[in-house]
Chain A
Amino acid sequence: MSAPGARRDVGRAATFAVIALAAVIAVRNATVYPAIAGYDAAEAIEYAEGLVRDGTLPDGTGSYYTPPGFFAIGGAAIELGEVLGLDHPERVGQVFNALVAVATLLLLLALVRLLWPGREMLHLAAIVFFVACPVVMKSAAMFHPEPLSMLLSTVALVLAARMLVRSDYRLPLVVGLGLALGLGQLVRAWTLGTLGVVVLVLLVAAVTRPAERRRLAGAIAIVAALAILVPGLWYGHQLRQYDSALFGQPHPAEPVWSRRPVGFFVGSGLPDVVTSPYRPSYSNRFVPIAYTEAWGDYFGVWRWLPERGPPSAGTRRELVAMSIVGLPFTLVAVAGWLALLGLAVRHPARSVERQLVALLPLVALAGVLYFGTSYPTADGDTVKGSFMLIAVPAWASCFGFAFDGLRTRFPRLSGVFLVALAVLALVAVPFLLAVDGL
């Protein structure tokens, strides 16, 4: 039997090996994947070019409801690509997103180390989940704002966790947290969910830690003020122009809860979610679309393109394989999430910082479900997997938590669990590689 120290070293080495492999894949994908194939790519490129070249925001067209944070960077990246003489200057923006995804991966490692110090196998499992979940690599290869919002959301989680773990409420840390939450909203409105979760968890800490209450109250005030002030100008502009700070699109007049049939909320999409995991299967079902978007390519942006007909037999096999690979990952992650939620409810004063990763998936799911219900489309287009990207680091933490629980409860099967994890990850790797000339 190997010593615990040696096992820790192996776990740490494996974790960094996975991160290095992920970095190579992400950057390689960004140089191969055609930007125009990504989600809303034409609108994103047009927005970025207009913003940097003419200093203008879209006038009620394209992605006008998306804040300009990423597009300012993306536009500068396109300019740099042109200076470098690239055939596809937007590639620089894609490489930026790949590096952002790698930075998020490192932040995830920092987060799980803060929440569960010394549990190297938990850290490894969380990192493997994050890398193997295709929605991360898909988004990281695109010219799209979501990876940057995931990064800023994870920065906020790490800073909040650090504050709570170390009872460290010094001004630079608090200001950093407020800025991360404010800047996140300047990239994507989904990060409002992170803001809500961080403030709620800080409030729980203030209630359950009387000795730190004053310092926590001060921190919450500063964080909230910065998170409102930083994106304030943008929200003001949107309100003036479109009467809505977030998404001023027309929607059906009926109440939100009756805009979708019951089947949208409860339909499992079986058996198509495994046998035919691509559009238009289960086009009016929330859970299977969200699942397939996370673990496969429902809308046809990664392995197939809808305008060229349905996926080929080979692609179908790949999509089916990924639907199967995603099942154990998802079930264990959901179990970890429920366990952390249970602990948060029953023992709110214990390890308050872990509530950050317990609550974010809930809030992100609720946000996407609300959006998908409020703006119903026949093809499920308002249920894109990338909308939940900010929650992937939290889901990865939940997976790591449950995986490590299983491993420590059944030490004799520990090797089997680790081999199973490695096999699942290896099966997923080919799908993580963008196809040259999609």
Chain B
Amino acid sequence: MTEPRPAEEWRYVSVALAVVGVLAVAQVAGWLVYRSVHHGPTALELTEKCLRREKLLAVDAARNDPIARTARGGALVTRVEDNGVQVAIARTEEEAKRLAAAYLATGRKIELRLDVRGNVVYVWEAPREPSPTQRQTMYDCWYE
């Protein structure tokens, strides 16, 4: 059978490499342009939108929690299956650890109610561990 000669093969490979290179550069350039004109939603906005639209929960700002209010990514409160929960979104895991330590230092025996997932700190209202479904509802709307 007739085989393509290496020189002819290279012609196709070089064109294909150029196409792939252009596509890759276009993707990165497109992303840079998009990022410069469009600031995406924050983790707090995504969490709030998810809780409202997908879980149909009422969401409010965490006004009465002085620790949550210091979270650099913002904070909110909601209620899942009759159990209130404060959500404080940190920017880094270290900040999340600091927030958790601050809660623990309040001495309100909140070990059972406190949950840290990545940069997000959850403090539940009921004096027991949240149920698996309550916890899963919040994890489904976990953004950081």
Contacts and interface: CB of A to CB of B under 8 A. Distances in A.
A332 B118 CA distance: 35
Interface stretch (A49-57, A348-356, A359-367, A381-389): A348-356
B115 to A, nearest CB: 9
Given A270-B28, A271-B31, A338-B20, A405 B10 contact: yes
A115 B15 CA distance: 21
A351 B28 contact: no
Contacts, number: 75
24 contacts: A309-B118, A332-B17, A334-B20, A335-B13, A335-B19, A335-B20, A336-B13, A338-B16, A339-B15, A339-B16, A342-B16, A343-B4, A343-B9, A343-B12, A350-B2, A350-B4, A351-B2, A401-B9, A401-B13, A405-B9, A405-B13, A405-B14, A408-B10, A409-B13
By DSSP majority rule, is chain A's interface helix, strand, loop, or mixed? helix
A280 B143 contact: yes
Contacts of B70: none
Contacts of B144: 310
Contacts of B143: 280
Interface in A216-245: none
Interface string B9-50: 110111111011100100110110000000000000000000
A170 interface: no
Interface string A285-317: 000000000000000000000000110010000
A346 B10 CA distance: 14
Nearest to B143: A280
Contacts of B10: 405, 408-409
Contact of B19 (A271, A310, A338, A347): A338
A352 B28 CA distance: 36
A310 B16 contact: no
Interface of B: 1-4, 6, 9-10, 12-17, 19-21, 24, 27-28, 30-31, 93, 117-118, 142-144
A402 interface: yes
A408 B20 contact: no
B91 to A, nearest CB: 14
A31 interface: no
A331 interface: yes
Nearest to B21: A331
Nearest to A308: B117
